Chain A
Amino acid sequence: MDVAWGSDSGDELELTDSSAQTAKSGEIFEQKYTSWNGTLNPRWMRNWAILRHHLLGIFKKGHRPWSMPTRIFLLIAFIGALSDAAFTLLSGLLGSAEFHALFGVSRDNLYGHILGFFPRNVLFYPLVAALLVGSVISEDRQHGTSALYFSRPVSRFDYIGMKYLSVALIQSLVILFTYMLYFMAEILAFGRGWSWMVDVFPMFLAGFIAGIILIITYTSIGLALSSVSQGKFFPGIGLVAILFGSKTLAAIVKNLFEREILYLLSPYDCVAHVGQAIIGTQQTYDQYPWTYSLVALVAMNAVALYILASRVSSMEVTRE
């Protein structure tokens, strides 16, 4: 190459000779085994690799290839979830008390950011969860990449744990990070001081916990569906069907028979009921205490995690 570009380094004769020798041997590819004496890092580094692979895949190439529709929808959901933060900033600029009452930080609006049915729990969060869980485990069955994990020193617990955590963290970016930005917008737009922050913090924290419960529930159910499938469509559509189907069925029964008990089968309604109780907004479920919903949530998560664990423990490394 240097000869071709005329490096003029004074070694022309040597370079010419060496290129002539290479040409003489007629070999382009020389197979040479290179040994490696490095040290392998411990368990936390392997787990970090799985987490990093999934998280960074959202933003850049070279990591887990999330599909373009998933990335676009995540961006839309992220921007959409920030609408209340934008309106809060706007109300601060306009100085309108009515506008602030509609969108600014309050008990109802904090609840609404996490658990408001429309638009967040209809248009954003379940769809984000469905797109994320769709192929996280099922693709390993489909492509046989489970062998890549289990033939390495990665335990099945770490495998599930890191996949679960990565899906939950991406959802947190859309749900909890925007929730924090919303709170920050109020502080910035209205110059809120420490006393306000201390005053509102329990409410904020309750909303945050409700968000975590929502993310855990959607992720558990979604990954359980992903673990029983080999494609991305079934887990995604299955999660949406469970969330909306159970809610719709319970709403129909309530309207026809004035019985709310079927809401205990609806993951969204159970989370909403518990969320209303811990945030302290007005309860919309009157016929049974919120602890019933909490127990139902624990049961749903336990069943989902049992399915997930048993399916992953049976994943093969030699053939599927």
Chain B
Amino acid sequence: MDDDLVIHSKGLTKSYGPHVALENLNLSVPRGATGLLGPNGAGKSTFLKTVLGLIQATSGEATVLGLDIKTQGEEIRSRIGYMPEYDALNPEMDAIHQVRYSGELLGMNPVVALNRAHEALQFVGMGEQRYREIKSFSTGMKQATKLACAIIHDPELIIADEPSNGLDAKTREFMISTLNTMVHEGERSVLMASHLMEDVERVCENIVLLHKGKLAAQGRIEDLKAIDREVEIHVWGGATPLEELLRDRGFKIRREGRVMRVANTQEDTTTHILQAASEVGAQIRRMHEYEASLEDLFLAIMENLGYEIKSSDDLLSSPIEARRVDAPESLGGGAS
């Protein structure tokens, strides 16, 4: 197995009777931070349970940190830290003892677990609150305590399910910077499932996008963003002839009034635009590169593209064919 991959799957499929929760997933999650994205029902939870070795895959194979999910589930769970989305703490316990117990459940000696619990809580900013009962904690403090439980044994891979869910701006910022510190200073890998694109974008270099149990996209965020790169121009006079000319020359254009977005698929797109404007006598009063956010990218893939997209190359090379697969007709799609 490639040492740079923390998770690798080949044809991974999980069915619950007739319902296929994961279908033929071919995933490669590299070291570093990766965002796991997908709408509700996309198969994120099933994927996480499969990766944790808690449920058996129907077919296919996968490895986590080089360990087989079918036969080495316990060893996988020893080497990863899982931070669940929902409450997973006993409200009657003190934070320090809760974190220590989570370490003991991994097989840590009680004394060692207590020492590490102090360090982990200190790291997540709970050093002063560690002897307080969890029931008196705010949502942010609970999230931090769950993260401390996940990192007590210094795992190689941390799986964080919605780590910034329900947090206010300040605590969300702290959680994001904590995850960043773990990735960049601690050199740990993070697989982060989240609905907050901004958070994923700040922490992760890579994403895996699931849709209805299938892989919709995977790769570096920067590479994937290139799919939706456009040049935005504000035109004064002659907008329609300019649009027609650019279309004739093979450019994909979205227009709303005098504002046009021209797909930036060539290196000299701006030169072509200026030449075309000069030929039709249109004034270009403003021109700048419009770079899609991760949220734009997510929406573009989810709403406009289809199941069969496997990689950023596919997205870049054949978006029209892909669109025909399953996107609704209103969005330019239709049955293939």
* CB pair A148 B105 closer than 8 Å: yes
* Residues of A contacting B106 in the complex (Cβ-Cβ under 8 angstroms): 40, 46, 152-153
> A49 contacts B101, CB within 8 Å?
yes
Taking a contact as CB atoms under 8 Å apart, the answer to whether A148 and B149 are in contact is yes
Cβ 8 A contact of B88, one of A29, A36, A63, A147: A147
Q: Please tell me if the beta carbons of B107 and A317 are within 8 angstroms of each other in the complex.
A: no
**A33 contacts B by Cβ under 8 Å:** yes
Q: How far is the CB of A101 from chain B (nearest CB, A)?
A: 48
B161 contacts the other chain (CB 8 A): yes
B52–A151 touching, CB < 8 Å: yes
Residue from B45, B75, B91 in contact with A319 in the complex, judged by beta carbons closer than 8 Å: B45
Q: In the complex the two chains form, is A151's CB within 8 Å of B153's CB?
A: no
B77 close to A152 (CB less than 8 A): yes
Residue of A49, A62, A139 near B94 (CB, 8 A) is A62
Chain A residues lying within 8 Å of B90, measured Cβ to Cβ, are 64-65, 139, 143, 145
**B97 partner, pick from A32, A37, A63, beta carbons under 8 A:** A63
Of chain A, the residue at the smallest CB distance from B83 is: A151
Given known A-B contacts A29-B125, A62-B97, A49 and B87 have beta carbons under 8 A apart: no
* Contact status of A46 and B105, CB under 8 A, knowing A31-B125, A144-B87, A145-B89: yes
Give B164 Cβ to nearest chain A Cβ, in Å: 17
A34 touches B48 (CB 8 A): no
* Interface presence of A195 (CB below 8 A): no
Say yes or no for A150: interface residue by CB 8 A criterion: yes
C-alpha gap A35/B182 in the complex (Å): 10
A50 within 8 A of B: yes
Expressed in whole angstroms, the Cα–Cα distance for A37 and B106 within the complex equals: 14
CA distance A35 to B101 in the complex (A): 19
Is B238 in the interface zone, CB < 8 Å from A?
A: no
List the one stretch of B109-117, B253-261, B297-305, B323-331 in contact with chain A.
Answer: B109-117
Quick one: which of A37, A46, A318 contacts B161, CB cutoff 8 A? A318
Is the beta-carbon distance between B84 and A36 smaller than 8 angstroms?
no
> Is the CB of A38 closer than 8 A to any CB of chain B?
yes
Give Cα A55 to B94, complex, Å: 17
Question: Chain B residues near A143 (CB, 8 Å)?
Answer: 87-91
Chain B residue at minimum C-beta to C-beta distance from A155: B74
Kindly report which residue of chain B lies nearest to residue A34, judged by CB atoms. B119
- Find B77's partner among A35, A49, A146, A153 (CB 8 Å cutoff): A153
Least CB distance, A141 to chain B, in whole angstroms: 11
For residue B23, CB closer than 8 A to chain A, the reply is no
B105 touching A154, Cβ below 8 Å = yes
Within 8 A of B (CB), among A108-163: 139, 143-155
User: How far does the alpha carbon of A144 sit from the alpha carbon of B161 in the complex, in Å?
Assistant: 14
Q: Which residues of B contact A41 (CB under 8 A)?
A: 107-109
Of B78, B82, B105, B154, the most chain A CB neighbours within 10 A belong to B105
Chain B residues positioned under 8 Å from A31 (CB to CB): 123, 125, 177-178, 181
Closest B residue to A156 by CB, please name it.
B54
Q: Contact mask A43-60 → B, CB, 8 Å, 1/0?
A: 101100110110000000
On whether A148 and B107 interact (CB within 8 A), knowing A33-B123, A153-B74, A153-B77, the answer reads: no
Known: A31-B123, A38-B112, A40-B153. A318 touches B85 (CB 8 A): yes
Task: Tell me the smallest distance from the CB of B283 to a CB of chain A, in Å.
Answer: 52
The answer to the question of B102 belonging to the interface, with a C-beta cut-off of 8 Å to chain A, is yes
CA of A104 to CA of B190 in the docked complex: distance in angstroms? 66
In the complex, A42 has a CB within 8 A of chain B: yes
A318 touches B84 (CB 8 A): yes
Can you name the residue of chain A whose Cβ is closest to the Cβ of B154? Answer: A36
Residue B196 lies at the interface, judged by CB distance under 8 Å to chain A: no
Interface residues of B in 64-101 (CB under 8 A from A): 73-75, 77-78, 82, 84-94, 97, 100-101
CA of A318 to CA of B123, assembled, Å: 25
Write out the residue numbers on chain B whose beta carbons fall within 8 Å of the beta carbon of A155.
74
For A13-27 the 0/1 string (1 means CB < 8 A from B) is 000000000000000
- A33 close to B87 (CB less than 8 A): no
Whether B49 is near chain A, meaning CB under 8 Å from some CB there, is: yes
CB distance from B146 to the nearest CB of A (A): 9
Q: How far is the CB of B266 from chain A (nearest CB, A)?
A: 44
Report the 7 A-B pairs with minimum CB-CB distance, sorted nearest first. A49-B104, A33-B186, A151-B82, A65-B92, A36-B154, A40-B107, A153-B74
Give 17 CB contacts A-B under 8 Å.
A31-B125, A31-B177, A31-B178, A33-B181, A33-B188, A45-B104, A49-B104, A52-B110, A63-B101, A143-B87, A143-B89, A150-B52, A151-B77, A153-B74, A155-B74, A317-B49, A317-B84
Task: Give the A-binding residues of B (Cβ under 8 A).
Answer: 45, 48-49, 52, 54, 73-75, 77-78, 82, 84-94, 97, 100-102, 104-110, 112, 116, 119, 123, 125, 127, 149, 153-154, 161, 177-178, 181-182, 185-186, 188
